[in-house]
Each structure stands twice: as structure tokens, then as C-alpha cells.
Amino acid sequence: MKNLTIPKDYVSALNLHDTQIAIKTVKDFFQNQISHHLNLSRVSAPLFVDPLSGLNDNLNGIERPVSFDIKEQNGRTAEVVQSLAKWKRYALKKYGFTIGEGIYTDMNAIRRDEDTDNIHSIFVDQWDWEKIIRREERNLETLKGIVNNVYKCLKNTEKYMAIQYDYIEEILPDEIFYITTEELAEIFPDNTPKEREYYIAKAKGAVCIMKIGDTLENGKPHDGRAPDYDDWSLNADIVVYYPVLDIALELSSMGIRVDKAALLSQLEKAGCQERAKLPYQQAVINEELPFTIGGGIGQSRICMFFLRKAHIGEVQSSLWPEDVVKECTENGIQLL
């Protein structure tokens, strides 16, 4: 079956009714944790933006955003957000937040070009967050401090869920392991980036993979990153080993946002210098926006992880290929 893994002897510990209750339990607890430990206030966020604003996330640059025309506005085009990476930084200034304060929000997106599997869906739901830092805090020490706090929230949530549900055991290690993409390539030179992530995650349990997006010494990037939000030298993914599927599972991506120098450098490396003329990018170049750090945390991903589910469709409602639905039904995987 294409893009579908069926774990041997898999049986969900929760039926559909109890799964829905457990999803809310995970989300409520984790939201409170992340809000407290990162000093974040919940705000409302857009589902769609004007493509001419430069606010939409271009992701890897190949995904097609979902767009539609607005009848009332003479056919003006709007794009469903692919993430809120840029919007959040703008919002922090507009809403009057100050250094050390931040925001978080529900981000829902449609990734129509996504290759779906056990952990990927065309529907994306995550908590997008952003907080203001000082210029001098744009360094790896700040990044690691935030990663430690996010990881603490993950650990606390797992501990809480293990108390609520007898079948859940704590598997996250006490500490998260830090490594850069270049160091990872040196350790596993003959493997693909995804294979490297799997081997290091299985060995360490939880890893923070830093410096994603730039070209490595082997001539290839570890993974794609849009050039105009994360500083490629100051970003990171939190990846954990997930024994249910025997995979490396990314739970969160974050980074210190670009300043003028990083933005112009990365736009040139990505071959899209024309984006520098867009309103958002101009605001960065003219230093009209605060210096920030931010990221996204997959809501369905953490629900899947903490509830020990085999498929992301067990914790979110989406559309799946008919053959996948059939195979899941035959093997006790209950898609919502």
C-alpha cells in the first residue's frame, strides 16, 4: 500500500469517542504549558491573506497555495495561509507587544500538494507562536533556551497523559540532544537527510536539529526552508523517536527570524531577490519590525504521539485516498 504503514498487531487503546476526549485533554494541557513557559498570549489569526502582501509562507517554494476570488471585492484574490511565520511578526508590532512577550494562535492550512502518509495530511493544524527578543539575543544560546522550554512542555504533557491513561508510558528522555545538520552529515555521510534524522532520533530519543536550509559541505541542503522568515543559521527542528511506527517524528519547527543581512543573503542564495520588494520584506529591510523568535508545533502530531496512534487521521479529520481508507479499516485504524 503506497505511503501507508500498518504496524504489526496494532490496536488503538481508545475508541473513537474516547479518542475525541483524549485529543482535547492533550491540547488543553499543552496549550496551557506553552503559554506559561514561553509567556505567550492567545490571539486571533487570519485563515487567508493577500498574496501581494508577501505575508504568506512560501515553504519550500514549490507548494501551490490554495487561492480563491472574492466576489464583493471585484474578484480580488486571497490565498489560504501555508503558515503564519511572517504574519506573527507583523502582528506583534501591530498589537503593541513588547520585548519578552509573545503570541500564539491556531493555524489551519491546506497543503494540496502534500504527499500523504501516516504522519502527513493535506490538512495542517498547528500552534503558531512568536515572541519578541532583543537584537543581541539573536544567537544560538537564545534558540537553545527556547528549545529547552518547548521540550519541557512536551515532557510535562507526556507525564500528565501517562497519569490520565494507563496504557501510555513515558518514553521521552530527560534531556534533548543538540546537533547541527553539518554534524549530522559528518556522522552519516552516506545516508539521506531523513535517514540521518531517523538514526539520531532512535539513538537519542529526542533531538534538536539546528541550522536548516543552507547548503552543506556536501553541496546539498539538509532540508528546504523559505529564505525570508527563519535565519538559516539560527533555526531548529525538534524530532523524537516514535516506536509505534519506528520513525523519526518532527513535532516542532522554530527559528530566530531574519534580520536585514540574513534576509538579503538568503534571498540571493535562493535566487529570489525580487521578493525583497514585497511589503513584508521591505519592513524587515527597513527594520520596521521587532526582532523575534517563533515556530510551529503540530497539534495533530503531538496528539498522535502522546496517544500512541498509528495514523494522523486517527486524531484529525481530513480526506484520504480510497485505498488508504480501505486498508486502514481492514487493519483496525479508525480514521476520523
Positions marked catalytic: 57, 111, 126, 237, 250, 253
What is the torsion angle, in degrees rounded to the nearest 10, for the CA atoms of residue 319, residue 324, residue 325 and residue 331? -140
CA distances (Å), 113 to each of 109, 110, 120, 129, 237, in order?
A: 12, 9, 11, 24, 22
* Distance separating alpha carbons of residues 147 and 253, to the nearest angstrom: 10
CA angle 253, 255, 256 (to 5 degrees): 165
Instruction: Give residue for cell 543538540.
Output: 178
| End-to-end Cα distance, the chain | 20
Any bridge partners for residue 104, and if so which? 42, 129
- The conformation of residue 136, written as its DSSP 8-state character, comes to G
Smallest CA-to-CA distance from 103 within 290, 261, 231, 284 is with 290
Give the sheet arrangement for strand 76-80, strand by strand: 48-49, 76-80, 67-70
Question: How far apart (Å, rounded) are the C-alpha atoms in residues 275 and 269?
Answer: 12
Helices of type H across the chain: 16-38, 85-94, 140-164, 181-187, 193-204, 260-270, 279-285, 299-307, 322-330
Whole-angstrom distance, CA of residue 100 vs CA of residue 131: 6
| Cα 298 to Cα 240: distance, rounded to the nearest angstrom | 13
Matching residue, cell 537527510: 193
